[in-house]
Structure 1
Amino acid sequence: MANIHEIARRAGVSVSTVSRVLNQHPYVSDEKRAAVQRAIDELDYTPNRNAVDLIRGRTRNIGVIIPYNNNPAFDRMLSGVLNRSVEEDYTVTVLPTRYDPGKEIEYLTMLKNKLLDGMIITSRANDWPSIIPFTGYGHIVACEYTEFEEIGCAYIDRYAATLEVFRFLKNNGHADVAFTTARGDASISTRLTMQAYRDVFGEIPPGRCIEGCTTMVDGIEAACQIVEGKERPTAVYANGDEVAAGIHQYVLSAGLRIPDDIVIVGQENQPIGQVLQLTTVDHQLFRVGEEAFGLVTREPRGKVRIPYRIIYRSSSG
């Protein structure tokens, strides 16, 4: 395989000139640049990407830690990242963890090994003190709020959004409300939801927080617990429109009416929620991903809050 010394001889230039051309250095004459390019084409030379990246000091590759794929919320954030990466000619490496702390640290080590310029964490398994040391090797941006100055974040005020939903339900006569979550209180999102519930309704009664919900099937199973319980709540706040759709399906199959017998509120304004006319909280996760990309490539310690919006539809009466 040809090397830059052979290219230099064929083009009649110095090795340093070839290096500058390969690294897109601006201070090379058009004549010499053309000669080098001809030599590259004639010798069918392909530069070593890793070597070029080391010389440049950057890879134009951003890692995105994502717990699961095929999850509407995380996929939406990832779509925002990918949208900006195409516009700005970056490569994105998707790094699924299934909330394995060891796998997450393994991925963060890619920053130390100079395989990535930065990392976006959509959701994490490790605590921040375990993650912060890796900011010495590359930029790290979170898709949740963090007060640590070393970590930038594009985030939503999940507590405020949930508080508004619970207050809306209470003001409309609902004193018994259930809600679903994905991970239980291991998740900061769940803890904020629980806090908002307590601030509006008081302590959470047994059976009113249903964990492990991410899909429509999970929603059906959650609805089974809700509907078949001794005392049925009059409203449910689901942690996604797909989960809400599963609840919707089961409730109708049980002979109940929506919203007369039970009100269903979802999240993220997904197509299935639009079809079923579900009231939903749109956290604008696509924009969260876009802003996270902007931070990791330009302002890694910035803090950007993304506004939410509640879309009221017929499911809420």
Structure 2
Amino acid sequence: MANIIDIAKRAGVSVSTVSRVLNNHPYVSESKRKAVQDVIDELDYTPNRLAVNLIRKVTRSIGVVMPYNNNQAFDQLLHGVLNRSVEYEYSVMVLPTKYDPQIELSYLNMLKNKQLDGIVITSRSNTWETIIPYTKYGTIVACEFTDHHEIGCAYVDRYASFLDTFQLLKDKGHSQVAFTTARGEESTSTSLIIKAYKKIFGDLPAGYHISDCHSIDDGLRVAQQLLNMEVRPTAVYANGDEVATGFYQYARSIQLKVPDDLAIIGQENQPVGIGLGLSTVDHKLVKVGEQAFDLVIENSQNKVKIPYHIIVRQSI
């Protein structure tokens, strides 16, 4: 296999000139650049990109740590990162964890080994105390608020959005409100929504919070459970428009009218919810992903808050 010494000999130039050509260095004459390129083409030479990256100390690649790749919220965050990556000619590596702390650490070690320039963490399983030491190897940006100065973040004020949503339902005359989440109380987001619920409504009735909800099927399953309770909720705040759609479908199947018998509000303004006229809380996650990418390539530890928007349609 040819190497740059072989190319230099055949092209009649120095090894440093070949290196400059491979790295697109401007200070190479056109005649020498052409001679080197002709030999490269003749030998079908491909440089070792990892070695080149180590020399340049930049990979133009970032990683996106995300627990799942079939979740509407994480898909929107990734969409935002990809939007910017195309614009700035970066490659993106998707790093799924299923919330396994060891898998997450293996991805952080990719930063340590100079395989990535930076990492966007959409949702984490390790503590910040575990993650922060890796910031000396590259930029780490979170899609949640953190006051740790080593970590930049693009975030939405989730607690404020939960408060506003529950207050909206209360103002609509609802006091029996159930809600769903993706994870249990090990999740910061779940802890915040429970805190917001208690601030607006007081004690949380048994069975009015159900976790592990991600899809339309989950919404159908949970709706069957909640809407057959002796004291059933009159309103539901679902943790996604797909989950909200499951509630809508089950409510209609048992002849409940939306919103007269059951008010429904979801999250993230998905096409399925738009089509059904479901109210939603749009956390602008595509924008969060775009901003997170910007922070990574700027090596920034800034804290950037993205505003959310509650969209009221005919379901509440």
Query: TM class, shorter-chain normalised?
Result: over 0.9
- Structure 2 equivalent of residue 121 of structure 1: 121
TM-score (norm 2): 0.98
Deviations 1:95-118 (A, max 9, x none): 110000111111111111111111
Partner of 1:245: 245
Aligned equivalent of 1:315: 315
Measured in 2, the distance between the counterparts of 1:105 and 1:26 equals 39
Q: Deviations over 1:185-238 (max 9, x none)?
A: 111111111111111111211111111101111111111121100101111000
* 1:188-227 superposed matches below 5 A: 188-227=188-227
What is the aligned partner in structure 1 of residue 93 from structure 2? 93
Letter in 2 for 1:259: P
Aligned-residue offset at 1:31: 2.1
Give the superposition deviation at 1:299. 3.6
Q: Which residue of 1 aligns with 2:172?
A: 172
Q: Which residue matches 1:51? A: 51
Partner of 2:292: 292
Is residue 2:187 matched to residue 1:187?
A: yes
The answer on 1:306 being equivalent to 2:306 is yes
Distance of 2:14 and 2:211 partners within structure 1? 65
Secondary structure at the counterpart of residue 185 of structure 2: helix
Secondary structure of the residue aligned to 1:228 is coil
Partner-residue secondary structure (3-state), 1:185? coil
> Counterparts of 1:15-30 in structure 2 under 5 Å?
15-30=15-30
Aligned mates of 1:122, 1:257 — CA distance in 2? 37
Identify the range of structure 1 (71-80 vs 299-308) with the bigger mean alpha-carbon deviation.
299-308
Q: Which amino acid aligns with 1:183?
A: R
CA distance in 2, matches of 1:95, 1:303: 23
Q: Corresponding residue for 1:75?
A: 75
Aligned-partner residue type, residue 87 of structure 1 = E
Structure 2, unmatched stretches of 5+, are none
Q: Secondary structure at the match of 1:213?
A: coil
- In the TM superposition, structure 1's runs of 4+ consecutive aligned residues that sit over 2 Å from their partners are none
TM-score normalised by L of structure 1: 0.98
Q: The residue matched to 1:190 in structure 2 has which SS?
A: helix
Distance in 1, Cα, partners of 2:300 & 2:242:
33
Shift of 1:153: 0.6
Give the CA RMSD over aligned residues.
0.9
Deviation at 1:159? 0.8
5+ residue gaps, structure 1, are: none
CA distance in 2, matches of 1:194, 1:28: 63
Q: For residue 57 of structure 1, report the CA deviation from its aligned partner.
A: 0.6
- Give how far 1:82 is off: 1.1
CA drift of 1:300 comes to 2.7
Equivalent position SS for 2:5: helix
Q: Percent identity?
A: 62
Structure 1 residues 130-186: Cα deviation after superposition (integer angstroms, max 9, x where no partner): 000111111100010110010111101111111111111111111111000010111
2:140, 2:146 → 1: CA distance?
12
Q: Aligned residue for 2:157?
A: 157
- Count matched residues: 316
* Counterpart position of 1:4: 4
Q: Deviations for 1:214-263, whole angstroms, at most 9, x for unmatched residues? A: 11111111111211001011110000000000011111111111000010
Matches of 2:222 and 2:26, distance apart in 1: 61
CA distance in 2, matches of 1:249, 1:184: 25
SS in 2 for 1:280: strand
Cα distance in structure 1, aligned partners of 2:82 and 2:138? 19
Q: Distance in 1 between matches of 2:95 and 2:204?
A: 35
Specify the SS of the correspondent of 1:19: helix
Distance 2:203 2:59 in 1: 50
User: What amino acid is aligned across from residue 283 of structure 2 in structure 1?
Assistant: H
1: CA distance, partners of 2:236 / 2:221: 14
Distance (whole Å) between structure 1 residues aligned to residue 7 and residue 62 of structure 2: 32
Q: Partner of 1:268 in structure 2?
A: 268
